[in-house]
Amino acid sequence: MKAGIVGATGYGGIELFRLLHNHPQVETITLYSSSQAGENFEEIYPQFQGGETHILQDLEPQKMKENLDVIFLATPAGVSSSLTPQLQEGRAKVIDLSGDLRLKDASVYKQWYKKEASDGETLEKAIYGLPEWNKEQIQTADIIANPGCYPTATLLGLGPLVKEGLVKSDSIIIDAKSGVSGAGKNPNPITHFAHAQENFQIYKVNQHQHIPEIEQQLFEWNDSIEPVTFSTHLVPMTRGIMATIYVQLKKEMTEEELREKYRNYYESQPFVRVRNKGSFPCTKDVYGTNYCDIGMTIDPRTKRVTVVSVIDNLMKGAATQAVQNMNLLFQYDERAGLAPLPVYP
């Protein structure tokens, strides 16, 4: 198959390149850049030298949609909302890593992203690509809205509880932390090394654009769910997300019963691993992989559930999840091209 990556020079784009380079079904990869067309990708990123060279191409939507089988958009918010419609009605399927196509309600997108949403038809066609919960719809889609990194960790962590109606609907609190690569390759005053290292910072308090994405999916699972509290923190590490989730149960249950619910949902899912009693994952347990690891407990004093869900933001939170979606779109083995085990330490 022939794959294309728009935004190939960004963090998500280069991870996609690395994964597609090792993917058994991918024959050619065409890389696109809005700012460096004509330049040699392997000279910009010498870590990729030693094989074929790739010259960065200008975006030509008409040619792209006719010549490629799949196009990944690893671009900032505001790009795919107008680019995706131009890539329709050709041969290519589109997998968008940005937030542009995730929110079904255009006014909600505008409120949280401060940009105009894509057209209604494109938003309608875009399928939310969380494979563990949405496999059948993904398999027949033309456009995939790849989930955000925080929502991936959060939704996989909350799915069984919310879907089964086990939580008090107004009790969900998500305390999330991310490594610095979550902000992309261009540093800003918050992610600048001198500020971020040896520091720990909360940001976008009650304003993070992933809040409506999380609520949209929770509400789809269970329409009694009320707004959630979702806090995001920057951790001085390169990769990784940990979402620590607190909920109150509607009815008492044992920790064993709770763990069993998770196991029932995820035992057939190759990339979600549920921990045994007393074991909680850390971000290095999933470093460089498509895994989401989940641990849980119930505090016997407060009756509160704590769920800990970790992913690698650039992988399950972006590039490997996008390749998992590609595998489903093209009826390949869901695990094709996705390295099985983490780099450690």
Ligand X SMILES: NC(=O)c1ccc[n+]([C@@H]2O[C@H](COP(=O)([O-])OP(=O)(O)OC[C@H]3O[C@@H](n4cnc5c(N)ncnc54)[C@H](OP(=O)(O)O)[C@@H]3O)[C@@H](O)[C@H]2O)c1
User: Which sequence positions are flagged as catalytic?
Assistant: 149
Min CB(14)–ligand X separation in Å: 8
Touching ligand X, residues 176-195 (CB under 6 A) = 181-182, 184-186
Candidates 61, 240, 288, 317: give the one binding ligand X (CB under 6 A).
317
Measured from the CB atom, the residue of 146 and 327 that comes closer to ligand X is 146
User: With binding defined as CB under 6 A, does residue 308 bind ligand X?
Assistant: no
Closest to 177 (Cα-Cα) out of 149, 157, 217: 149
- What contacts 230, CB < 8 A, 6 or more positions away? 150, 154, 174, 176, 206, 208, 210, 211, 214
Candidates 29, 68, 294, 314: give the one binding ligand X (CB under 6 A).
314
Min CB(33)–ligand X separation in Å: 3
User: With binding defined as CB under 6 A, does residue 12 bind ligand X?
Assistant: yes
CA geometry: angle at 146 spanning 140 and 147, to 5°?
A: 125
User: With binding defined as CB under 6 A, does residue 325 bind ligand X?
Assistant: no
Candidates 4, 10, 61, 151: give the one binding ligand X (CB under 6 A).
10
CA atoms within 13 A on the CB side of 235: 16
Candidates 21, 28, 48, 76: give the one binding ligand X (CB under 6 A).
76
Residue 203: Cβ within 10 Å count: 14
Measured from the CB atom, the residue of 187 and 248 that comes closer to ligand X is 187
Closest to 232 (Cα-Cα) out of 210, 203, 209, 207: 203
Measured from the CB atom, the residue of 225 and 314 that comes closer to ligand X is 314
Measured from the CB atom, the residue of 159 and 317 that comes closer to ligand X is 317
Dihedral (CA of 252, 173, 105, 324) sign:
negative
With contacts defined by CB under 6 A, name the span among 4-12, 130-138, 215-223, 333-341 that binds ligand X.
4-12
Q: In what order do the strands lie in the sheet with 70-73?
A: 28-32, 2-6, 70-73, 93-96, 143-145, 126-128
For residue 192, give Cα distances in angstroms to 117, 207, 313. 30, 21, 18
Give the distance from CA 187 to its chain's centroid.
21
User: With binding defined as CB under 6 A, does residue 98 bind ligand X?
Assistant: yes
- What does 39-83 look like in DSSP terms, one character per residue? SBHHHHSGGGTTS---B-B---HHHHHHH-SEEEE---TTSHHHH
With contacts defined by CB under 6 A, name the span among 76-84, 107-115, 251-259, 272-280 that binds ligand X.
76-84
User: With binding defined as CB under 6 A, does residue 149 bind ligand X?
Assistant: yes
With contacts defined by CB under 6 A, name the span among 69-77, 245-253, 298-306, 329-337 that binds ligand X.
69-77
Measured from the CB atom, the residue of 34 and 111 that comes closer to ligand X is 34
For 42-70, letters b (16+ CB in 10 Å) and e give: beebeebeeeeebebbebebeebbeebbb
Measured from the CB atom, the residue of 235 and 296 that comes closer to ligand X is 235
Q: How far apart are CA 5 and CA 74, in angstroms?
A: 7
x/- mask, ligand X, residues 281-300, rule CB under 6 A, reads --------------------
Residue 120: Cβ within 10 Å count: 10
Candidates 9, 30, 290, 320: give the one binding ligand X (CB under 6 A).
9
x/- mask, ligand X, residues 211-240, rule CB under 6 A, reads ------------------------------
Touching ligand X, residues 27-66 (CB under 6 A) = 33-36
Question: By Cβ distance, which residue is nearest to ligand X?
Answer: 10
Phi, psi of 245 (to 5 degrees): -115, 130
Name the site residues for ligand X (rule: CB under 6 A).
6-7, 9-13, 33-36, 74-77, 79, 97-98, 148-149, 181-182, 184-186, 313-314, 317-318
